[in-house]
Amino acid sequence: MTDMARRNFLGLLGAAALTGGPVMMARELWQSSWRGYRHGFIDGQGRVIDYSANKGFSTSEGQSYGMFLSLVAGDRATFRRILNWTNTNMAGGRLGEVLAAWKWGLHGGKWGVIGANSAADADAWMAYSLLEAARIWKDHNLGAEGHKLATRIADDESVAINGFGRVLIPGASDFPDTPPVIVDPSYTPLFLARGIARATNLPKWQAIAATLPRLMTTICRNGFAPDWAWAPQAPASPPAGLPETGTGSFDAIRCYLWAGLTAPETEGSATVLASLKGMARYLATHRAPPQSVDLASQATHGTGGIGFSAALLPYLAALGRHRLLHQQLGRVLAQRETSGLFGQPADYYSENLILFGLGGLSGSIRFDKQGGLITS
């Protein structure tokens, strides 16, 4: 995120008639949104709850985002509660030796793990958050936990493709682990891979980071990111039971978000951003992003929610598309509630996209060129 883009956001907040100094306004908006999220979605034990299902369930994704966002907020108590709950309930007290189960909730009248496979994106966010928390809070134990988890991810959730590079696969089981493999490009932000590689010096993570720009150039079509794609190319007869490829929607929206949050000086950042210009092109003639897009035909369906608009804010700023940024920011701010949450009712996934999107614009979430979280 450039200083010019951040100044543009501060100006937009002023135009929205918020009071106080512009930097204070932007930071307080994010902190207020974080407090609303913490109150609305994180219980006293440290369980992040998605209320979209009856009685609510928890995912390793939610736990990992909660860890990262509490780190950004400087909220060590919440970070520790989330980590402890995740370790106890999703990893049997052995996080790092094993990967966290991806889903926990009520099934058959009992609370517990209901999806035992891992989710590589959540695992990576947890490892990154542990490693950065260790650096920022000077806690060696967190660093050791993060290194152990990063090693487990590299060993169990990544695959080397001859002549192409190393990619993260979606989970440790139930997905092909020999090429060609199916990937979700939103699972591996460039800054995240660079940050883990820097903190651990693990060759496999260095290879994952180096491969990402090539992966995005290969699987994006017409400037749009897919939810799922084959790498390096689709097999003649794809196995049954795997996600459909060729469409970009709820997962792919994060690709634009991560590209916008990546420091422009990061190696490969410009290549990733250049592979994603289709969404900005679409917004030049539409007031809101689509809910889904067919990458080959560019046919779109539905209208994305405010979380989609928020996810695109850092991306549009990085591209210098300030008119489009103003339009999407206005759509988000129009649905802000006094609780600090957005929309009625507030939605877990949208709230996370909003916290990341507004965090990037306000400067609350920033990364250096090596993927380190900037806290000053």
pLDDT tens digits, residue range 61-74?
A: 999 999 999 999 99
Does residue 138 sit within a domain? no
Percent helix / strand / coil, the chain, rounded to 5: 50, 15, 35
Q: How far apart are CA 313 and CA 162, in angstroms?
A: 36
Residue of 50, 61, 157, 251 marked active site: 61
Average pLDDT over all residues of the chain: 94
- In the sheet that holds 110-115, the strands lie side by side as 58-59, 103-107, 110-115
Which residues are within 8 A (CB) of 374 and not within 5 positions of it... i.e. 6 or more apart? Answer: 366, 367, 368
Does residue 300 sit within a domain? yes
Which residues are within 8 A (CB) of 372 and not within 5 positions of it... i.e. 6 or more apart? Answer: 132, 135, 195, 198
Mean pLDDT along residues 16-20: 42
Which CATH number does the domain housing residue 287 bear? Answer: 1.50.10.10
- How many whole angstroms from its chain centre is CA 137? 22
Across the strands, what pairs with 106?
Answer: 111
pLDDT at 33 over 60: yes
Query: pLDDT (tens digit, 9 = 90+) per residue, 301-318?
Result: 999 999 999 999 999 999
User: In terms of DSSP bridges, do strands 110-115 and 158-161 run parallel, antiparallel, or are they unpaired?
Assistant: unpaired
Does residue 322 sit within a domain? yes
Query: pLDDT (tens digit, 9 = 90+) per residue, 174-184?
Result: 999 999 999 99
121 is catalytic: yes
Does residue 96 sit within a domain? no
Query: pLDDT (tens digit, 9 = 90+) per residue, 246-268?
Result: 999 999 999 999 999 999 999 99
Does residue 90 sit within a domain? no
Per the structure, the count of domains in the chain is 1
pLDDT at 352 over 50: yes
Whether this model's pTM surpasses 0.85: yes
Extract the tokens encoding 338.
């006094």
75 is catalytic: no
Does residue 57 sit within a domain? no
Does residue 70 sit within a domain? no
CB-CB neighbours of 234 under 10 Å = 13
Mean pLDDT along residues 150-178: 98
**What interhelical angle do 253-261 and 348-362 show, nearest 10?**
20
Q: Is 27 exposed, middle or buried (0-12, 13-18, 19+ CB in 10 A)?
A: middle
CB-CB neighbours of 51 under 10 Å = 14
Q: What does the pLDDT read at residue 55?
A: 77
Query: pLDDT (tens digit, 9 = 90+) per residue, 184-241?
Result: 999 999 999 999 999 999 999 999 999 999 999 999 999 999 999 999 999 989 999 9
Note down the domain range covering 347: 1-41+179-185+209-376
Q: Confidence band (pLDDT; 50, 70, 90) for 20?
A: very low
Q: How far apart are CA 296 and CA 335, in angstroms?
A: 33
Which amino acid, one-letter code, is at 81? Answer: R
Which residues are within 8 A (CB) of 312 and not within 5 positions of it... i.e. 6 or more apart? Answer: 253, 256, 257, 260, 279, 283, 289, 328, 357
Extract the tokens encoding 250.
């709820």
Q: Confidence band (pLDDT; 50, 70, 90) for 27?
A: confident
Q: To the nearest 10°, the Cα dihedral for 181, 185, 189, 193?
A: 10
Residue of 50, 121, 123, 351 marked active site: 121
